[in-house]
Amino acid sequence: MFGDGSKDGTYEIKELYNTFTEDELKEIDKLVKNNSLSPIKQESPAIAVTQRDLLNLILLNFFSEYGSPKRLKSVCEKFYKNSSLK
């Protein structure tokens, strides 16, 4: 439907745009304006994470890409200590 695309499965905007007729583009615009076809992914409802939950995730090394558990625990404790002073 959208042409061949590139080898990695992505498409150039111009190439993709040119695959639709003018009427199809108007219909897509109408759907986007009416939120029937939202280009933005709808987020799921927020879930509260307590200080204890966050600390447990840190100690389980869930956030390893951001640093060591020891350092993250220290940052977390300082954050909660400073935020509770207000």
Q: What is the pLDDT of residues 5-25, one digit of tens each?
A: 455 666 677 777 778 888 888
For 42-82, how does the pLDDT look when each residue is reduced to its tens digit (9 = 90+)? 667 788 888 999 999 999 999 999 999 999 999 999 988 88
Contact 79, 86 (CB under 8 A): no
- Outline where the chain has alpha helix (H): 13-17, 22-33, 51-59, 69-83
Q: What is the pTM of this model?
A: 0.45
Q: Parse the chain into domains and list their residue ranges.
A: 10-42, 51-83
Q: Three-class SS of residue 49?
A: coil
